[in-house]
Structure 1
């Protein structure tokens, strides 16, 4: 199976530079904030979002080297993503991420919220220094979308009237917006034209939605050890994702269990059984495939290059996580 690491071969050196730069970019006067930032960036992760920015930068520069502004955009993208994870972990009261203690576990919720705010502020400062108003607007929209997505999720807990459309909108806000808008920003910095910029925005949107749907499937099909968080944690907290929404259409009794918030003994295991007995996971997999294919079509606007090949392979990689 193709790994994320091998997918990013065309930008392997670029990613090494990015990883070296991240901690030095986030310099804090208070040692606790500095320690929190260092912990975040040393915790690993696949760096998928900045890698996509770098791949798109190389794919649209027509054989020329990418610019310092492309590199800084990739770094800003990872800073914004990391800030959102810190806030997510506070909201979810998560103890682990990628099998290491979260910032809120190590430093407490108060410092974790401030660390997330600090990363957002630092990324905004570097963003402003790119001196491109269109790019500033795109990435500022991402930060707004993160908050909107968290609010939507918080207000819709255990709400069995949530539609698939609402679920996809929330998934866009929480996951796809960053990939779509940072990708479009990379194309703008390459001066590749509005038509390609809009196609790449659509690529990022569809890839991000496929990525989120696959994550939501894995919540039901993968062990806690592999996930790095408790399995079925979304369902237990009332976050109704694609497999659940599809399953409710087939299993009306699932709605009853959700609406009473799994308050009776055995409710959650029974709900999981109903989901597994339905075609919910299968239908969610089909939805992820649909969005990955749309993402693949969006890439036809780019000239052939190793970077484009990697971006195309990424649409398969996203789905391979649930094969």
Structure 2
């Protein structure tokens, strides 16, 4: 993160110091070890690339969403302003690509560059579907596959690349990452309407206030009567929200089992992720990656 332009390491250090799970770089490190990499430090540098890409997207997302909090602390845009946040996010993207070039693998560059483009497409697609209750489940899945699952998949696949473990295992690790990423985002979207969200240092109902169309909303909307759909259109499409609307939205989701079914869907993707690990023999790394699946889903308890 070092730069002679003092604001860059200062702002970047703020978001890094805020903590977080460091899940994506962990996936790169664990996947490389699972696939048999023992030859050096390439996996460490590429794990840092993955985290820089993720951090850049967080800086940009908080500007787009006008978020005041990130991981329980003031967001970078709230402290430093929107323009520095966007520009430092750009720096982190560029720095990640410098490190990729230093790694020297065109295949790694292809995977992470592709993921970066897909993330941007997912964010733009979310912007298009925001405030539109006519959004389909397929469109919603396309959003989360882009904005979240793409980087999870890339994180695990580059671990396979540095280990040079063969096509079948590379495909398996990519499938693990992709399905874990979908499960992770499904749980995140359910958590936005849960009291457990406060324990994670986030504000309950941010997605609702922004009019984001997530699976819990889609299920409640599809299963609701005409009066309930009028409510969803008013609050999400017209953004006409009163203080009592968030509790009502949560009640409607509970009435139609939207939370339960979103978590169930996440478990299905989680199981596909676990199944992808079957090509590997039992090991501490395989058990760790299996444990990450359960960790991601258990957040909803």
Specify if TM > 0.5. Answer: yes
Alpha-carbon distance, 1:186 to partner? 1.1
- Would the aligned equivalents of 2:211 and 2:239 in 1 still touch at CA under 8 Å? no
Alpha-carbon distance, 1:225 to partner? 2.9
Name 1:52's counterpart in structure 2.
Answer: 27
Name 2:230's counterpart in structure 1.
Answer: 256
Q: TM-score, normalised by structure 1?
A: 0.88
> Separation in 2 of the partners of 1:77 and 1:271?
35
Give per-residue Cα distances to partners, 1:130-166, cap 9 Å, x unaligned: 1111110110111111211111111111211111111
Mapping for residues 101-116 of structure 1, pairs under 5 Å: 101-116=74-89
Name 1:297's counterpart in structure 2.
Answer: 275
> Separation in 1 of the partners of 2:255 and 2:274?
32
> Separation in 2 of the partners of 1:135 and 1:174?
19
Name 1:23's counterpart in structure 2.
Answer: none
> Separation in 1 of the partners of 2:239 and 2:224?
16
Distance 1:201 1:298, change over 3 A: same
Name 1:38's counterpart in structure 2.
Answer: 13
- Would the aligned equivalents of 2:63 and 2:85 in 1 still touch at CA under 8 Å? yes
Give per-residue Cα distances to partners, 1:244-293, cap 9 Å, x unaligned: 11111211333322323341644444333212211111111110010000
Distance 1:267 1:201, change over 3 A: same
Name 2:289's counterpart in structure 1.
Answer: 311
Name 1:16's counterpart in structure 2.
Answer: none
Task: Give ranges in structure 1 of 5+ residues lacking alignment.
Answer: 1-25
Distance 1:66 1:80, change over 3 A: farther
Name 1:156's counterpart in structure 2.
Answer: 129
- Would the aligned equivalents of 2:130 and 2:212 in 1 still touch at CA under 8 Å? yes
Which of 195, 207, 223 lines up with 2:180 in the alignment?
207
Name 2:209's counterpart in structure 1.
Answer: 236
Query: Counterpart of 2:142 in 1: which secondary structure?
Result: helix
- Would the aligned equivalents of 1:58 and 1:66 in 2 still touch at CA under 8 Å? no
- Would the aligned equivalents of 2:196 and 2:300 in 1 still touch at CA under 8 Å? no
Query: Counterpart of 1:46 in 2: which secondary structure?
Result: coil
> Separation in 1 of the partners of 2:191 and 2:136?
21
Name 2:194's counterpart in structure 1.
Answer: 221
> Separation in 2 of the partners of 1:295 and 1:177?
14
> Separation in 2 of the partners of 1:179 and 1:143?
11
Give per-residue Cα distances to partners, 1:50-72, cap 9 Å, x unaligned: 111111111111xx625221111
Query: Counterpart of 2:103 in 1: which secondary structure?
Result: coil
> Separation in 2 of the partners of 1:125 and 1:301?
33
- Would the aligned equivalents of 2:52 and 2:96 in 1 still touch at CA under 8 Å? yes
- Would the aligned equivalents of 2:30 and 2:159 in 1 still touch at CA under 8 Å? no
Alpha-carbon distance, 1:79 to partner? 0.8
Give per-residue Cα distances to partners, 1:9-64, cap 9 Å, x unaligned: xxxxxxxxxxxxxxxxx111211112011112211111111111111111111xx6
Distance 1:264 1:205, change over 3 A: closer
Moved over 6 A (4+): none
Q: Which is worse superposed, 305-314 or 264-273?
A: 264-273
> Separation in 1 of the partners of 2:135 and 2:39?
43
Distance 1:317 1:207, change over 3 A: same
Q: Which is worse superposed, 112-121 or 229-238?
A: 229-238
